[in-house]
Amino acid sequence: MLLEIDGLNHRFGGLHAVRDFRLRVDRGELVGIIGPNGAGKTTVFNLITGVYRPYAGDIRLEGRSLVGLPPNQIVRRGVARTFQTIRLFRDLSVLDNVRIAHYQRGGYSVWASILRAPRVMRREDELAWRALEMLEVFGLAGVAAEPAKSLPYGAQRKLEIARALATGPKLLLLDEPAAGMNPSEVEQLADLIEDVRQRFGVTILLIEHQMKMVMSICRRLTVLDFGQIIAEGTPEEIRQNPRVLEAYLGRGVTMA
Amino acid sequence: MLGGPDSGKGRWRAPLLAAVGFVLAWAVPRYQLISPYYELILMYIGINIMLTVSLNLVNGYMGEFAVGHAGFMAVGAYVASVLTVRAFSWELGPYLFPLALLAAGAGAGLVALLVAVPSFRTRGDYLAIVTLALNMIVKSVIENIEAVGGPRGFLGMNRLTTLPWVYVWVVITLWTIRNLVYSIYGRGVLAVREDEVAAELVGVNTRHVKVQAFIMSAFFAGVAGGLYAHLLQFIHPRNFDIIKSTEILVMVYLGGIGSLMGSVLGASIFTVLLEALRFLGVWRMVLAPLLLVLLMVLRPTGIMGLREFRGFVPADELARWRRLAPAPAGPARGGGSGAAGN
């Protein structure tokens, strides 16, 4: 079991944003988390990555608890993420966006960097190489020197995934990667996610509103509403679950 | 492709230029090539470059807003002066001067560490307030220590600061900060400026990065203070007040944030301007604050505006970019997010 979450609770003042959330994710899986707006999906990601400290509950990666660690330590343990609203280092080059994600695998000390020892230069060559290889996977090598903000929207989404993968994660959290994309881009993205999962051997947790995409690539789904899990199962089971339909569309509706 | 055999191309250009510069810096006072007055101005420019580049690391590259740089300068000035006057014997003074300067930097760095640990828990405006307070505290503390002359100031230093020494320290400052900026740690600094949360979530230890940069910044301000004290031979708490800090801020924003060349230009232009306008008397003091206001309104990114002169980029990094993109423009390292970076 790669990720185990038990009894996870979080409050914002009086709002109980996440209530008794529980999740098991096996190595290599692609699990979707869906739910209406404000259901607490992104809060779960923020709890896993240490942006918030949970009010109660435990989150374990490979059996070791992540609770209370600063975000950068959680990254070191092997969790990477993207953001619902793109958070690239906008004014830095595309290459530097990826190179920053190598921070923990620099392999040289501050003192060595100040002396710019030959070791540092060789290591920097290697890191630049690796960053460029990563960009090639996403078709972004040609724009490596451009500032990230100059990329079209879809490419920025890809760059965020590339940056997350550059940290060398075991678990990749994708927060609405298809938001703002047109149908053909969404289709490409679905292929890309599947490709990433296989090529990098990462386990993926996906928050998404594009039902068609979620249903097509995830083998297992968890549905959240008002901070609580209301359904779990395969896409087929979720499609027919009356509580899910109710949460999304209101009472007395059937999904086409 | 990136990496490869010609990584070291042009590696010797910068050290060679630095060596030529040193010979010049040595020859000028030795053979009196220029008048002592111009020599003095050159030394002021050098010291101001150190102050500007070091503050640029925190305010420009890292996007924080520290406003009390003169406080660190004061710590350095007094540490170095007390050492050369009280601790070192008169004959050994000139030889132990580098040690005194290192101690000056270390003292300032230590103060920075004490301030950084609590204040970097908060963000943005708080650091401005904390550093402002620190500047005032340092000044008042010195004013109240009778052993170093209190409000009357401290004297007795020999004029140990010479043009070659200033030159050497300017080169060390530029070289150190350049090397940091173009390493994984420097990219961590840039990431903090761009988006601190995202930086942390791609693995950057943002607290480490901030404390490191702050200490390094203070270290060079401290050394600059030591050089300043042994040039003036008389220091006074009022040399290191908010006005001085404001002048350093003006030099940073005039030259351009996130640019070494910018800091060199900003410090040089401002120092010369201040000298040239001596005839204005007290009104000269209006210049710095006024310039700061105008800069913030008209051109918050300064002369260089986040660009860098290629000579200040490590040769191996330039080679990497050359293989990547033949365009001479080089990589984007900018950030139009405003000078204050808040």
- Please write the tens of the pLDDT for every residue from B45-62: 999 999 999 999 999 999
In the predicted model, what is the mean pLDDT of chain A?
92
- Please write the tens of the pLDDT for every residue from A24-68: 999 999 999 998 888 899 999 999 999 999 999 999 999 999 999
Domain ranges of chain A: 3-91+167-249
Decide if B242 is inside a domain: yes
Determine contact: B324 vs chain A, CB below 8 A: yes
Nearest to A100 among B2, B202, B336 (CB): B202
CB < 8 Å to A120, chain B: 183
Domains: count for chain B: 1
> Domain range holding B201?
11-323
pLDDT band per the 50, 70, 90 thresholds, residue B119: confident
Chain A closest-CA separation from residue B316 CA (Å): 7
Nearest to B331 among A70, A95, A163 (CB): A95
The fraction of chain B above a pLDDT of 90, given in percent, is 60
Cβ distance A91 to B324 less than 8 Å, yes or no, reads: no
ipTM, 2 dp: 0.91
CB < 8 Å to B172, chain A: none
The fraction of chain B above a pLDDT of 70, given in percent, is 91
Decide if B284 is inside a domain: yes
Decide if B256 is inside a domain: yes
Tell whether the model's pLDDT for residue A74 goes beyond 50: yes
- Please write the tens of the pLDDT for every residue from B255-277: 999 999 999 999 999 999 988 88
Cβ distance A76 to B194 less than 8 Å, yes or no, reads: no
Q: What is the CATH number of the domain that holds B258?
A: 1.10.3470
Strand-pair partners of A65: A60
- Please write the tens of the pLDDT for every residue from A170-188: 999 999 999 888 888 899 9
Instruction: Choose between B30 and B170: higher pLDDT.
Output: B170
Residues 196-235 of A with CB under 8 A from B: none
Tell whether the model's pLDDT for residue B341 goes beyond 70: no
Cβ distance A95 to B203 less than 8 Å, yes or no, reads: no
- Please write the tens of the pLDDT for every residue from B70-114: 999 999 999 999 999 888 777 777 788 999 999 999 999 999 999
Q: Which CATH architecture has domain A3-91+167-249?
A: 3-Layer(aba) Sandwich (3.40)
Closest-approach residue (CA) in chain B for A98: B202
Cβ distance A126 to B183 less than 8 Å, yes or no, reads: no
- Please write the tens of the pLDDT for every residue from A185-233: 899 999 999 999 999 999 999 999 888 889 889 999 999 998 889 999 9
